[in-house]
Amino acid sequence: MPAVTRPPATGCLAATPEYPAEARRWRIEGTAVVSGIVEPDGSISGVQVLETSGYALLDEAAMKAARSMTCAPSKDPKTGHATRVSFSRGFAFGLDGTPTVSPSPPGLPSATRGYAELLRARVKSNLLVADNLPGDITAVVRVLLGPDGSVLQTTLQKSSGVKSYDDAVLKAIERSDPLPLLKPGQLGTQTVVLTFKPK
């Protein structure tokens, strides 16, 4: 069997992933990066999650979209023969308008809900804010975690409208580094989305 080449696959048309109805209902967003192999006949094999969105629903939808890709066979530039080519591709799931994402909607498994509460509790223990903040504001932050739980990146996904609170939340996440993992010993990065309210 021809050896797998390393350059990313070209000549592939990626289908728009189907946004899972449950994820829409829970207003879950994220980006999943998947990898796989384009076989000599253009078919797709070996699809797996390279970087999780943080939600199994979105990861599964991304893998399904990758498997449905239509690819032209890749040729080895030296021999001219069709060969296997590895690829990686990101699939983004985003809602229109301002997202109101929560990592623990009612329908999520109890383990996932418990994990979200664990993360929030860890961050809130390092959150220093004024007592006179409005109670109805919400800040949503997307956090990229490394394999060891280290905080690699924080992105303010939805501002609370109060800059001092937004800044305090971001600093609290930095102070909480590293964060606990849902599955210790995981491979690759993990994205989680955390929602914070003053009260």
Is the pLDDT reported for residue 10 higher than 60? no
- Tens-place pLDDT, residues 36-81: 888 888 889 989 887 777 788 888 888 998 898 888 877 777 887 8
| All CATH 3.30.1150.10 domain ranges in the chain, comma separated | 110-196
**DSSP secondary structure string, 133-176?**
--TT--EEEEEEE-TTS-EEEEEEEE--S-HHHHHHHHHHHHHT
- Specify the pLDDT at position 99: 29
> Hey, how many other C-beta atoms are within 10 angstroms of the C-beta on 106?
8
Is the pLDDT reported for residue 107 higher than 60? no
CB–CB of 74/83 below 8 Å? yes
- Name residue, tokens 């229109």: 96
Structure tokens at 4: 């797998």
CB–CB of 25/161 below 8 Å? no
- Tens-place pLDDT, residues 154-193: 989 889 999 999 999 999 999 999 888 766 555 667 777 7
Across 6-15, 33-42, 71-80, 113-122, least confident range: 6-15
Architecture of domain 12-93: 2-Layer Sandwich (3.30)
| All CATH 3.30.2420.10 domain ranges in the chain, comma separated | 12-93
- Specify the pLDDT at position 38: 87
Determine what percent of the chain is predicted with pLDDT higher than 90. Answer: 9
Taking alpha carbons only, the member of 132, 136, 144, 131 closest to residue 179 is 144
- Specify the pLDDT at position 56: 81
Q: Average model confidence (pLDDT) for the chain?
A: 76
What angle, rounded to 10 degrees, do the helices at 163-175 and 110-124 form? Answer: 100
Fold of 110-196: 3.30.1150
Cα distances (angstroms) measured from residue 145 to each of 52, 57, 124, 150, 178: 10, 19, 18, 5, 8
Is the pLDDT reported for residue 9 higher than 70? no
- Specify the pLDDT at position 14: 64
Number of H helices, E strands in the chain: 4, 10
Determine what percent of the chain is predicted with pLDDT higher than 70. Answer: 79
Is the pLDDT reported for residue 13 higher than 50? yes
Contacts of 17 by beta carbon, 8 Å cutoff, 6+ apart: 61, 62, 64, 65, 91, 93
